[in-house]
A and B are shown apart, each in its own frame.
Chain A
Amino acid sequence: MPRYLACTFAALLLTLFLTAVSATAQQKATITGVADIPFTSVPNFLKLPPGESLGESVAVATDSKGHIFVYHRRDTTRLFEFDRNGSFLKEIGKGYYGFEFAHSVRVDKDDNIWTVDEGTNLVTKFSPEGKVLMVLGRRPPAVDGPVVFPAGPNPPSQKYILCRPTDVGWDPQGNIFVSDGYCNNRIVKYDKNGRFVAQAGSEKAGTGLGEFNLPHGLQVDERGNVWVADRTNNRYQVLDNNLKPIREITNLGVGWTLCISPGPHQYVFHSNSNPNGNAPGTWETTGEIYKTELDGTVIGKFGKPGKVTPGFQVVHMMDCRNPNEIVLGEIESWRVQKFILQPESRTATH
């Protein structure tokens, strides 16, 4: 059998295996008695030019002007910018070498746009105008031939090479934090100039504090603490600014992705996303999003899976610049929704 066919076959088997694992590993959140936060959905509020459409909308973010960025898997992976009313403004990164398989887009405090691409292993910082300012990681060179996911243990992690990275965040000083990823199991800290500072975890998956099994989402709060959605461990971890573990959160279901709102009073949104594939029963037990305080106090929850809005299909990313207006990117329905929360009516004391 030619090598590439063997590789394709092996990849297929691996995919089937992983799908089966993720369906069984999905956990119902153990927390009970959480109040529902009333909300209204604004579905399909993004207006695309004729002939354009979204693919898997795995990544959404807003900037200080309210512009919405959608980094999605279409014919190729593409990055679209919309104004605050949802009208299409422009495409960024057309034909860019660092776009192959979208995973995250985030906007920093200076409105620079950062993409995380797990197909090219690149994290890219774009200026607000869409010019490349910094690149982290390296795309595997095509001249070395098709990349085969290695069987057996992951190769050792390297300071400046990422392996299917998933997310990016910054502390108030501008240090850069990357969750890395599907074939490493670590959080990496770089300074604002892109120089390696430290890492937590390694290429090896683990269950201890400061170890990870598919760190899938990352945000940094105003104190500089680093929050990690530790997906396959079904938990979130909070690390200090030097990546020492502080605590874990294990009662909110799978740690798929999270969002921390800005400002003096920050909230954290955690998504217990329904698993890909919609196995029977999963809509009833997963999919809700929790709103919490930084200290872990759970304020409420909202949302549930469904093919039809306001249901959603595997929330992959949330934007919460306005904690009462959550923009949700979904994998399986190729859709972005805005949820307008009415928190005051049912919010617990805080």
Chain B
Amino acid sequence: MKLLKLVLLLACVAASIPAGAQGPAPALNFDAANALTLPDDIYLGEVGGVATSSRGDIYVYTRTGHPTVSMATARPFAHGGSRLFQFDRNGRFTREIGAGLYGFLFAAQVRVDPQDNVWVVDEMSAMVMKFDPQGRVALLLGRKAEALNNPPRAGGAGPAGEGGGRGGGRAPGAGAPQDVFNRPTDVAWDAQGNIFVADGLGNARIAKFTKDGAFVKSWGQRGAASSEFASVNSIAVDAQGNVYAADAGNQRIQVFDNNGTFKSEIKGVGNAQAICMTPGPNQVLYVSNSNPPTDIDIAGEITKMRLDGTMIGKFGKAGKLPKEFGTVNAIDCRSESTLYVGEIGNFRVQKVTMK
């Protein structure tokens, strides 16, 4: 029995050994160009998210306009600051979705699910908003704080708080067992439609919901050990239902099974601010080692790797020119050879063609 335990332990240790993202990295040939044609009265700001649908439509969730605090009332209320745009497969502007929407404050991410529903994550309203393909609100997770500087509720829910976990004796960043987020960053689904929310920068956890939005569980807290996060910046779920969470502050990607049990980690990925997993059957990961907005002279490359962390190659660097990247916050990789990359620093989306 003891021997069996030992074997199991060794197996677990082996599974958690970093699989080699820090291996040799051949340079991948690529080209990149501005992906979008904008009408004269539409401007992108910082691109939080970019995603494509099965029909090739391109969705962009961007921090733009004039984020506003109204002051004539008992409390200061936050309005505006982000917009959701749709473009066709050629990058031509199609329409705006949800203009003036209550939850559009500070764009974090947009993702499109297998049924072509459009999911928007807003870091400041702390909401995840699902739109059907017609652009109607279909499901909401989280609730926008009523006003700025609201004291966080149990688990922490201020729009810009120091982090949750103040209620219920839970660990820092663990949040509350409910759909109350603190600076969420991303969303993903498994094959059954279960929803996984990266929550995110204020909290340090992953929250799982059924496809109908009922809370299932959450895991993680702030820290550097396994199943702990400095931050959860980006998330993806593979065809088997395993959850890949980019923990940029710890420069790693952690892999969990569908119920949140730690399986392994991929180390040495740098500031993994955006990850994307291609659809099956031979899935690969793209991981951006995004440069900080304060410096374009470091980092910025995107790495392509297998799901076990084996390096395939890397491309790009930080900068402001075409084929350079300014703090990548989003990658769409519906096609392994054609990516859409959204940038915080350069107010643009580039279409990247792998050669």
Chain A binder among B65-73, B168-176, B216-224, B234-242: B65-73
- Nearest to B75 among chain A residues (CB) is A2
A96/B43 contact (C-beta < 8 A), A160-B296, A193-B319 known: yes
- Asked whether any CB of chain A lies closer than 8 Å to the CB of B212, the reply is no
Name the interface size band of chain A. 35 or more
Name the interface size band of chain B. 35 or more
Mask: chain B, 57-85; 1 = CB below 8 Å from A; 0 = not: 00000111111010000001010010000
Mask: chain B, 93-133; 1 = CB below 8 Å from A; 0 = not: 00000000000011000000000000000011000000000
Q: Find out whether the CB atom of A95 lies under 8 angstroms from the CB atom of B294.
A: no
- Asked whether any CB of chain B lies closer than 8 Å to the CB of A100, the reply is yes
A146/B41 contact (C-beta < 8 A), A97-B64, A135-B347, A160-B294 known: no
Q: Find out whether the CB atom of B43 lies under 8 angstroms from the CB atom of A142.
A: no
From A4, A76, A96, A194, contact of B296 by CB (8 A): A194
Mask: chain A, 103-143; 1 = CB below 8 Å from B; 0 = not: 00000000000000000000000000011101100110111
A142/B106 contact (C-beta < 8 A), A2-B149, A76-B66, A94-B41 known: yes
- Asked whether any CB of chain B lies closer than 8 Å to the CB of A247, the reply is no
Q: Find out whether the CB atom of B106 lies under 8 angstroms from the CB atom of A141.
A: yes
From A4, A95, A132, A193, contact of B148 by CB (8 A): A4
Task: Name the distance in Å between A138's Cβ and chain B's nearest Cβ.
Answer: 5
Measured between alpha carbons, how far is A95 from B123 in the docked complex, in Å? 21
Inter-chain contacts of A161 with B (CB < 8 A): 293-294
Inter-chain contacts of B297 with A (CB < 8 A): 159, 195-196
Q: Find out whether the CB atom of A146 lies under 8 angstroms from the CB atom of B320.
A: no
* A-B CB pair tally, cutoff 8 Å: 97
Measured between alpha carbons, how far is A143 from B161 in the docked complex, in Å? 9
Q: Find out whether the CB atom of B43 lies under 8 angstroms from the CB atom of A97.
A: yes
19 contacts between A and B (CB under 8 A): A91-B41, A95-B64, A95-B65, A96-B45, A97-B62, A97-B63, A97-B64, A97-B65, A131-B38, A139-B45, A143-B124, A145-B159, A159-B297, A193-B320, A194-B320, A195-B296, A195-B297, A195-B320, A196-B297
B interface residues (Cβ-Cβ under 8 A, vs A): 38, 40-46, 62-67, 69, 76, 78, 81, 105-106, 123-124, 148-149, 159-160, 183, 293-297, 319-321, 326, 344-348
